[in-house]
Amino acid sequence: MPITDLLERNSKLYGDETALVEINPEIQEEQRVTWKEYELIQPTSSAPYRREITWSIFDEKANRAANMLLGRGIRKGQKVAILLMNCLDWLPIYFGILKTGAIAVPLNFRYTSDEIEYCLKLAEADVLFFGPEFIGRMETIVPTLKKDHLLFFVGDVCPPWAEDYHRATANCSSQAPKVLIDDEDDAAIYYSSGTTGFPKAILLKHHALSQSARMEASHHETTHEDVFLCIPPLYHTGAKMHWFGSLFTGSKAVLLKGNSPKAVFDAASQERCTIVWLLVPWAQDILAALDRGDMKIEDYELAQWRLMHIGAQPVPPSLIKRWMKYFPNHKYDTNYGLSESTGPGCVHLGMNNIHKVGAIGVPGYGWKVKIVNELNQIVNQGDVGELCVKGPGVMVCYYHNEQATNEVLENGWLHTGDMARQDEDGFIFLVDRKKDVIISGGENLYPVQIEDFLAACPKVHDVAVIGLPDPRLGEIAAAIIQVKDGMTCTEEEIEQFCMDLPRYKRPRKIIFAPVPRNATGKIEKPRLREQYCGVRLVEAQNNG
């Protein structure tokens, strides 16, 4: 079924129940808006900014957005972009776009003006919904956009060159538009991470979105009673498709603005969250805060929290072992995926396989996998090769990029660009990105393996390993190490810790510096290579 059918079903079955809650701990509110009957509720003076909507209001707001767009001439197959921070308007606008039969185009909130303009033009978007955080970036490109481009501002004070979204939809019908949508219709364009150069546009169909909802609910045994805490940005397939588990079961979700350990624990405690999806840096920050005694678990209501899962980047096994010491009753899962596979879950560890921590897991619900060599032949079990996945979530194509599409799609198989191996039990271990493999003196070094080892060092908060040019060996492994707050660390200490590594895997260069990660938690290795390759390295000790 089209993904929009799930929203309409929830409106009928659970209309008066809470669908979404928005919390911003950095804003102290004077009034709390609850969009059940648009009444205002006076909270305690110390309460953070909090709003919520029911399933029926969610669906009505999506219908108003859809009918407004249809009234402005938007038709099936056209593209409508979203440039918003996480908020209560985000998902109703997204579903309003889908209800018209148009294609939703979420944009990364970190995009520069040039990237916004590039992505709008590549997707051939006719409409853009944007928030107040992006007025400055939009002002510079408005003159270059086509004259019939529709710009809707989602906020309080609308700039003169845009139209107020809330006013535009206020008098629109709240009834579902009569647009026939099929599983095979195009639904969304998501953009690749774009950590270097401009991102590629990934086209997905409705059946891919619906499959991801069923898969998420299946993988995590989501029920109507669960409460999902969503922190990562909704423009990304990871956050969106994990939330689809809540959509599939008609359960409540909390959109948290902010990722500090206290904000996460406050939200989980106050909203009775049962499922929390974290990125590696946030889990590291929580553990560090607990280690320091800045927070105490007993000060929060966390007994209902049953599952913590991580995705979007390799997860050091040492991190999960530390987590389980604090939360021995937690279920844990890790989810592997790409935007090209409609986000997370084409491979997942599974909640009952914590004994295999370190693996990304087994094929997900409805998926097949294989590991191949450079000749596209399946490798022997245990050997390293490129991971390929096949299933209902594989993208249609890179929009307007046939060459790039042909490089990764072959007979329905998606070549992920990730190097992996499979153990004797069938569990898949991610070794590294194909392009990140370091060839040093004829040996293949896989940075993730070295990073996982170094992450277990008591003084290491975060670590990234990259290859640096070397006149004799071709490349050498360099470890960029971010030391835990309040600690000092020396090169000699790291070298001593690495004595348990095979000699050829030991980093030959140690750099104490922050480890940059993007909005979805992935290490920005192209940025590190740009910073450290080809220039004289200045090594400095990080004193926290």
Residue 462: CATH number of its domain: 3.30.300.30
pLDDT at 94 over 80: yes
Same domain, 149 and 251: yes
Domain containing residue 411: CATH number: 2.30.38.10
Residue 408 contacts residue 394 (beta carbons within 8 Å): no
Residue 228 lies in a domain: yes
Range of lowest pLDDT (33-47, 145-159, 173-187, 513-527): 33-47
Q: Collect all residues with Cβ–Cβ distance below 8 Å to 104 and sequence separation of at least 6.
A: 80, 82, 94, 97, 98, 187, 188, 189
The residue ranges of DSSP E strands in 192-304, in sequence order, are 201-205, 227-230, 252-256, 275-278
Rounded mean pLDDT, 59-70? 98
- Total number of domains constituting the chain: 3
What phi and psi values does residue 539 have, to the nearest 5 degrees? Answer: -90, 130
**Could you tell me the sign of the dihedral formed by the alpha carbons of 150, 156, 158, 163, in that order?**
positive
Task: Provide the pLDDT for residue 524.
Answer: 83
Residue 302 contacts residue 323 (beta carbons within 8 Å): no
Residue 288 lies in a domain: no
Task: Provide the pLDDT for residue 442.
Answer: 61
Tell me which of 400, 419, 434 is where a domain ends.
434
Spatial separation of the C-alpha atoms in residues 298 and 289, rounded to whole Å: 14
Same domain, 75 and 128: yes
Same domain, 477 and 412: no
Same domain, 401 and 442: no
pLDDT at 195 over 90: no
Same domain, 36 and 157: yes
pLDDT at 544 over 50: no
Residue 275 lies in a domain: no
Same domain, 359 and 374: yes
Residue 358 lies in a domain: yes
Parallel/antiparallel/unpaired status of strands 307-311 and 331-338:
parallel
Residue 394 contacts residue 414 (beta carbons within 8 Å): yes
Rounded mean pLDDT, 522-543? 60
Q: How confident is the model at residue 260 (pLDDT cuts 50, 70, 90)?
A: very high
Rounded mean pLDDT, 393-414? 95
Q: pLDDT by residue (tens digit) across 40-64?
A: 344 444 556 899 999 999 999 999 9
Residue 519 domain boundaries:
438-532
Task: Provide the pLDDT for residue 40.
Answer: 39
Same domain, 415 and 475: no
Rounded mean pLDDT, 228-241? 91
The residue ranges of DSSP E strands in 201-262, in sequence order, are 201-205, 227-230, 252-256
Estimate the share of the chain in helix, then strand, then coil, as percent rounded to the nearest 5: 35, 30, 40
- Per mean pLDDT, which of 126-140, 145-159, 514-528 is the most reliable? 126-140
Residue 50 contacts residue 160 (beta carbons within 8 Å): no
pLDDT at 324 over 60: yes
Looking up tokens 């990125």 gives: 279
Residue 233 lies in a domain: yes
Task: Provide the pLDDT for residue 28.
Answer: 52
Q: pLDDT by residue (tens digit) across 449-470?
A: 898 899 999 999 999 998 888 7
Q: What letter represents residue 347's amino acid?
A: V
Q: How confident is the model at residue 37 (pLDDT cuts 50, 70, 90)?
A: very low
pLDDT at 415 over 50: yes
Task: Provide the pLDDT for residue 290.
Answer: 96
Tell me which of 258, 288, 318 is where a domain ends.
258
Residue 543 lies in a domain: no
Looking up tokens 């079955």 gives: 13
Q: Choose between 315 and 257: higher pLDDT.
A: 257
Same domain, 419 and 488: no
Task: Provide the pLDDT for residue 538.
Answer: 35
Looking up tokens 């593209």 gives: 79
pTM over 0.95: no
Range of lowest pLDDT (14-28, 243-257, 305-319, 517-531): 517-531
Residue 211, class by beta-carbon neighbours within 10 Å (0-12 exposed, 13-18 middle, 19+ buried)? Answer: buried
Same domain, 370 and 492: no
Q: pLDDT by residue (tens digit) across 358-374?
A: 899 999 999 999 999 98
Percent with pLDDT over 90 in the chain: 69
Task: Provide the pLDDT for residue 350.
Answer: 93
pLDDT at 250 over 70: yes
Domain containing residue 182: CATH number: 3.40.50.12780
Q: How confident is the model at residue 261 (pLDDT cuts 50, 70, 90)?
A: very high
Question: Can you say whether residue 232 is alpha, beta or left, with left for phi > 0 and alpha for psi between -120 and 50 degrees?
Answer: beta
Percent with pLDDT over 70 in the chain: 91
Task: Provide the pLDDT for residue 521.
Answer: 72
Q: Collect all residues with Cβ–Cβ distance below 8 Å to 97 and sequence separation of at least 6.
A: 65, 66, 69, 80, 82, 103, 104
pLDDT at 30 over 70: no
Same domain, 100 and 212: yes
Overall size of the chain counted in residues? 544
CA distances to 7, 287, 461, 469, 512 from 537, in Å: 54, 31, 22, 12, 11
Same domain, 428 and 461: no
Residue 537 lies in a domain: no
Q: pLDDT by residue (tens digit) across 432-451?
A: 676 777 877 666 787 888 98
Average of per-residue pLDDT values in the chain = 89
Q: Choose between 338 and 102: higher pLDDT.
A: 102
pLDDT at 496 over 80: yes
Residue 290 lies in a domain: no
Task: Provide the pLDDT for residue 35.
Answer: 43
Q: How confident is the model at residue 121 (pLDDT cuts 50, 70, 90)?
A: very high
Rounded mean pLDDT, 287-305? 95
Task: Provide the pLDDT for residue 435.
Answer: 73
Task: Provide the pLDDT for residue 541.
Answer: 31
Residue 245 contacts residue 222 (beta carbons within 8 Å): yes
Rounded mean pLDDT, 97-114? 93
Tell me which of 258, 293, 319 is where a domain ends.
258
pLDDT at 75 over 70: yes
Same domain, 353 and 210: no
What phi and psi values does residue 285 have, to the nearest 5 degrees? Answer: -65, -40
Q: Choose between 504 and 285: higher pLDDT.
A: 285
